[in-house]
Amino acid sequence: MADTRHRGLPPRPRSREEPHSASYGFDPSTKQNWPLEWVVSYGQGRVYTSTFGHVWKGDVQPARMRCAGLQTIVVRALQWLAGRDVTYPVPADFPTADKASVRAEIPVPVAHRFLCTDSAGNSVSVVEADGSVSWRYTCDHPQDCWALPNGNYLFCHAHGALELTPDKTVAWEYRAPAGTEVHACQPLPDGRVLLVECGTSRLIEVDRTGQIAKEIKLPVPPAAVHLHDQFRGVRKTADGHYLVSAKGEHLVLELDGDGAILRKIPVPGDVHEVLLLPDKHLLVSCGDGHRIIELDEQEKIVWSLDEHEVPGNPLRLMAGFQRLPNGNTIFCNYLGHGHVGEQPHCFEITRDKRVVWSLDEHEKVVWSLDENEVPGNPLRLMAGFQRLPNGNTIFCNYLGHGHVGAQPHCFEITRDKRVVWSFADHAQFKTVNQIQVLDVPGDVTKGEILR
């Protein structure tokens, strides 16, 4: 609209259903004024309608909702609808016919509820927005995961893939052949599940009965590429192509529906994930290359996130990610290889590289007993232990590996690290690696003995 005029609300509702235009805009193409706001009376009821301030899916505080005019009008309209005097003032930044007025965004804390895999921790978890874990399943080195429309969770692990209900009932399963590893999965529209197998070097689509319905052979990686490093993320696109992360070869492969290779794209790192974006660009996580890149259709880098661009959170092994409807992206920063506990596991970042959310939940060490803290009894191979009702703990100090006869087999220590009892009988015992104190009552079958 080239011109907008605001007439204001009527002083009181009318007695019959007769629309009253509160504002209009002039449309140069039709050369007509079109209503933008109007009110209708229904007996003693009042209805106010506005065409200002559209919000579309994925919008977060769009400029049209931050217009000083819209925000002022809505408050004044609410006063009128409530039958009160319209007293809310027209602010100094109210837009004019010649100048728009868009206010700054209101800082809003970002929080997410999410499903994730912890490969080093051997678990799949649902984490609530407050950071608490509401669901967890233990399996061997899980990698890819999906929350399905039916409420189930689909994920792959080193030896296959599982779909579990929230109560952990198996709804579907695929078991990979011996000597292989599975590091990616994707639910497909026809109910099949796409998997990639290291060792057999193949893509497979598995049906709901667990049978392989389609198989595509992948190029066998060079012998120097270890089985574990052959492949990571794989995705089937809407046009039926396959995007494969050839991790060990630092390549992205694009195959057609029959398995013919269409492209081999070199990337700067052991690629872990590749995603086709709506604009046909490719978003690629480069693993230990410590980098994220976005490639256009000519395979030119049009955006990247480099190792030290996120303050306080250097990129480690960049793994999975998710592009959000608002254009932000959540990246997983895998902290294995010597970085566990040092920084956030994942973060949400804007196109202009502002971090708006991160997850920094690590197992916190709240007490420890270190090698030389017990005078005269350095910790050797620490084995079994039992927590006592008084809060003390009895530890077994396994004395094999060259320390037989050198010090006590076990000792009881307080929370403040005072040794109140120890046992050493080297004539009858060489090593003691497990213990249960028999003067502490409790039923072991009911978990009443903490050992």
pLDDT for the residue numbered 173 = 96
pLDDT tens profile 191-250:
999 999 999 999 999 999 999 999 999 999 999 999 999 999 899 999 999 999 999 999
Output the CA–CA distances (angstroms, integers) from residue 131 to 112, 128, 280, in the order listed.
Answer: 9, 5, 34
Q: How many CA atoms lie within 13 A of 23 on its CB side?
A: 18
* Site of tokens 């254009």: 327
Instruction: Give Dmax over CA atoms of the chain in angstroms.
Output: 107
Mean confidence (pLDDT) of the chain: 83
Do residues 216 and 227 make contact, with C-beta atoms less than 8 angstroms apart? no
Residues 6 or more apart in contact with residue 451 via CB below 8 angstroms: 384, 385, 386, 387, 434, 435, 436
Q: Which domains does the chain show, CATH number per domain?
A: 3-81 (no CATH), 114-359 (2.120.10.30), 381-446 (no CATH)
Q: Give, in degrees to the nearest 5, the angle at Cα 443 between 441 and 447.
A: 115
Q: How confident is the model at residue 2 (pLDDT cuts 50, 70, 90)?
A: very low
pLDDT tens profile 82-140:
889 999 999 999 999 889 999 998 877 767 787 888 887 888 898 888 888 899 999 99
What's the predicted TM-score (pTM) here? 0.62
pLDDT for the residue numbered 14 = 47
Question: Would you tell me how many other CB atoms lie within 10 Å of the CB of residue 51?
Answer: 13
User: DSSP readout, 190-209?
Assistant: TS-EEEEEETTTEEEEE-TT
Cα 117–chain centre separation: 9
C-alpha dihedral sign at 156, 157, 159, 165: negative
* Site of tokens 């992205």: 252
pLDDT tens profile 254-307:
999 999 999 999 998 888 888 888 889 888 888 888 887 889 999 999 888 877
